[in-house]
C-alpha cells in the first residue's frame, strides 16, 4: 500500500525514537570495567635466572621471620658474617630471613642511612659483592629458609641516577624536588609518572632473577599509592618460577587488596608495650588483634614483633620494654601464638641488653651470652612450627585485665595459651568448658588437670593442648 508523506514522517519519527531509547538503555546497562595499572613487561631482556628458584617458600601463615641488620650482625658487618651464622638462625626454627637494604647508600645530603638508596641495581660494597649475597641466599635455601630483601620504593638518595629524569620526582611550584615527611636526606618519587613506576618494578624483578631472592619487605608501604603496589605485585607474580612473599611495612587497609601477604603490626607492638610497661589491661591486646584483621583474607597475616631496627634504636631493647628476660618471653608467646607471624630482630634471642642505634655502625651483637634464653626461644618457636592449631586455628579470647589468655582451635587440636602480663603472681579463672577437657602440657607432653583458678607466677606463661575429632 502506498503511504502518503505524512505517514512516512510519523513512521520515521517512531523509528528514530525507538533507536534512541534502545541506545540509551544499552549504554546504561553496559558494565563498568575497573581500570588497573598495566603489568610491566620489560622493554629490555630480563636478566638470566641465577641458580634454582627455591621450592620451599612457606605458606604465609606458617612463616617465622628473622630480621638481619647487616651492619650490626657481625664484627665484619658484611654478608659473610651472616652466612657464617645461618646454622644458628635455622636452629631457632626460623624459615624466612629478612635482610635490611643491601644497596649502595647515597652520600649527597646523606646521614648514612641504609634506606637512602643510590642505586637500585647494585650491591653495597660495604657488605661485599653480588657473589657474596648469592652465597648467603644459597646457604639459606640449602638450610630450608627463604630470603626476602628490604625494598625502599617511596624515595631515593639525592645522588641516585634517577634524579636526572624529568618528572620522576615530586617538585614544588618552582620545580624544586621535595623530601618526604621531613626526611631531608632523601628525595620523594613521583608515582604519577608511569616511566618511574616501570623502572622501579623492573628493578624489583632484577633481584628476584639475579639474586634468586624470595620476595620483599617493602619499606614505608603507606607512602606509595595502592595502585602502584597493585601494579608492582601483579607484575612480580608473573615470574611463575618463584613463590614470592610480600610484606608491607604499613597498616593501610588496602595493602591486602593490593596483593601483599603481610602487613606490619605497629599497633600490636604499641599495645603490648603499654600492657607490659604501663599496666594497661591485657584485654586491649584482644581488641587490637581483631582490628588488625578487618581487611585480611584467609591466608593474610600481620607480622608481630617485640623489637626491630627502628624501635630498638628509638624505644629500647625488648628487655627494656617488656620486663626483662621473663617479661619479654611472656610477651613473645603472645606475639607468636595469638594470630600473626612472629618476627625476631637479630640479637633478640640472646637478650641483647644494649641498643643497636641508627645508622647501625656502632655496636655489634655479642652472640656468646644468654644461651638459656636462646633455648627458650627455640622451644616456643618449635611448638608453633609443629602445631597447626597455633599457626592457623580459630582464635578465641579468655583474657582478663592481668592475663592474656586465648584458645586456638584447629581440625584435631585445641591449644590454650596463658600469659601473665604482670611482674607479680596472679591467677586466671577458667571457664568450666575448658576445665572439663583432658589436657597436656604443650612443652612436656605431660597430662595435667586444669583447676577452676589457674595460679601463675610473675610473667609466667603456660601452654596446654587437647585433641578432638
Residue 336 sits in a domain whose CATH number is: 3.20.20.80
User: What is the DSSP annotation of 203-257?
Assistant: HHHHHHHHT---EEEEETTTSS-HHHHHHHHHHHTT-TT---EEEESS--TTHHH
CATH of residue 409: 2.60.40.1180
pLDDT digit string, tens, across residues 348-403 = 999 999 999 999 999 999 999 999 999 999 999 999 999 999 999 999 999 999 99
Model pLDDT for residues 17-51, shown as the tens digit of each residue: 343 433 433 444 444 444 556 665 556 788 999 99
Identify the domain boundary among 393, 411, 436.
393
- Distance (Å, rounded) from C-alpha 215 to C-alpha 207? 9
Average pLDDT over residues 46-75: 97
Residue 85: helix, strand or coil by DSSP?
A: coil
* Residue-by-residue DSSP string for 168-189: SB-B-TTSPBPPSTT-TTEEEB
Query: What one-character DSSP code corresponds to residue 435?
Result: H
- For residue 49, tell me if it sits in a domain: no
Number of folded domains that form the chain: 2
Contact predicate 218/151, CB 8 Å: yes
Q: What is the DSSP string of 90-154?
A: HHTT--EEEEPP-SPBP-TT----TTSBS-TTS--TTT--HHHHHHHHHHHHHTT-EEEEEEE-S
For 255-290, b/e burial (b = at least 16 CB within 10 A) is bbebbbbbbbbbbbbebbbebbbeebbbebbbebbe
* Least confident among 20-24, 258-262, 272-276, 360-364: 20-24
> Does the pLDDT of residue 277 top 80, yes or no?
yes
420 phi/psi in degrees, rounded to 5: -75, 115
pTM of the model: 0.90
Bridge partners, 199 (sequence order) = none
Q: Report the distance separating Cα 254 and Cα 166, nearest Å.
A: 30
At 90-115, the pLDDT tens digits run 999 999 999 999 999 999 999 999 99
Cell of 289: 588483634
Domain boundary among 341, 376, 393: 393
pLDDT of residue 37: 63
CB 249 within 8 A of CB 67: no
Q: How far apart are CA 270 and CA 409, in angstroms?
A: 27
User: What is the pLDDT at residue 38?
Assistant: 61
Average pLDDT of the chain to the nearest whole number: 92
Residue 25 covered by a domain? no
Domain boundary among 362, 393, 424: 393
d(Cα 251, Cα 264) in Å, to the nearest integer?
6
Q: Longest Cα pair distance anywhere in the chain, in angstroms?
A: 109
Distance of alpha carbon 289 from alpha carbon 296, whole angstroms: 12
Domain that holds residue 403: 396-467
Amino acid at each position: 500500500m502506498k503511504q502518503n508523506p505524512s505517514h512516512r514522517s510519523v513512521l520515521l519519527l517512531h523509528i528514530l525514537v525507538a533507536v534512541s531509547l534502545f541506545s540509551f538503555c544499552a549504554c546504561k546497562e553496559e558494565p563498568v570495567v575497573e581500570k588497573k595499572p598495566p603489568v610491566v613487561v620489560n622493554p629490555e631482556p630480563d636478566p638470566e635466572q641465577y641458580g634454582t628458584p627455591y621450592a620451599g617458600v612457606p605458606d604465609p601463615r606458617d612463616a617465622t621471620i628473622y630480621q638481619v641488620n647487616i651492619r650490626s650482625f657481625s664484627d665484619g658487618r658484611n654478608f659473610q658474617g651472616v652466612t657464617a651464622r645461618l646454622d644458628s638462625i635455622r636452629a631457632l626454627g626460623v624459615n624466612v630471613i629478612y635482610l635490611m637494604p643491601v644497596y649502595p647508600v647515597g652520600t649527597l645530603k646523606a646521614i648514612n642511612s641504609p634506606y637512602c638508596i643510590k642505586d637500585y641495581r647494585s650491591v653495597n660494597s660495604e657488605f661485599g659483592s653480588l657473589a657474596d649475597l648469592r652465597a648467603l641466599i644459597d646457604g639459606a635455601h640449602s638450610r630450608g629458609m627463604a630470603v626476602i630483601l628490604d625494598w625502599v620504593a617511596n624515595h631515593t638518595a639525592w645522588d641516585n641516577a634517577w634524579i636526572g629524569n624529568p618528572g620522576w620526582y615530586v617538585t614544588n611550584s618552582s620545580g624544586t624536588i621535595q623530601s618526604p615527611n621531613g626526611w631531608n636526606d632523601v628525595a620523594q618519587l613521583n608515582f604519577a609518572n608511569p616511566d618511574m613506576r616501570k623502572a622501579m618494578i623492573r628493578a624489583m624483578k632484577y633481584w628476584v632473577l639475579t639474586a634468586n631472592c624470595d620476595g620483599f619487605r617493602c619499606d614505608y608501604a603507606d607512602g606509595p599509592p595502592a595502585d602502584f603496589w597493585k601494579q608492582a605485585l601483579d607484575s612480580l607474580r608473573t615470574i611463575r618460577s618463584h613463590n614470592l612473599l610480600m610484606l608491607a611495612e604499613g597498616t593501610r587497609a588496602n595493602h591486602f587488596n593490593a596483593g601483599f601477604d603481610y602487613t606490619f603490626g605497629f599497633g600490636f607492638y604499641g599495645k603490648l608495650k603499654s600492657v607490659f610497661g604501663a599496666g594497661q589491661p591485657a584485654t586491649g591486646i584482644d581488641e587490637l588483634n581483631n582490628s588488625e584483621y578487618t581487611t585480611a583474607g584467609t591466608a593474610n597475616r600481620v607480622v608481630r614483633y617485640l623489637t626491630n631496627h627502628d624501635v630498638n634504636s628509638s624505644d629500647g631493647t625488648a628487655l627494656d620494654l617488656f620486663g626483662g628476660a621473663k617479661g619479654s618471653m611472656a610477651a613473645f608467646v603472645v606475639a607468636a601464638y595469638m594470630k600473626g607471624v612472629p618476627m625476631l630482630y637479630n640479637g633478640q634471642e640472646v637478650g641483647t641488653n644494649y641498643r643497636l642505634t641508627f645508622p647501625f655502625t656502632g655496636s655489634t651483637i655479642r652472640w656468646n651470652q644468654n644461651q638459656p634464653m636462646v633455648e627458650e626461644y627455640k622451644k616456643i618457636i618449635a611448638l608453633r612450627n609443629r602445631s597447626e592449631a597455633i599457626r592457623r586455628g580459630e582464635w578465641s579470647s579468655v583474657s582478663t585485665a592481668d592475663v592474656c589468655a586465648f584458645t586456638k582451635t584447629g581440625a584435631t587440636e585445641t591449644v590454650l595459651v596463658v600469659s601473665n602480663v604482670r611482674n607479680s603472681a596472679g591467677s586466671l579463672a577458667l571457664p568450666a568448658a575448658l576445665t572439663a577437657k583432658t589436657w597436656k602440657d604443650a612443652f612436656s607432653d605431660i597430662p595435667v588437670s586444669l583447676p577452676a583458678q589457674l595460679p601463675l607466677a610473675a610473667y609466667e606463661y603456660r601452654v596446654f593442648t587437647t585433641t578432638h575429632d
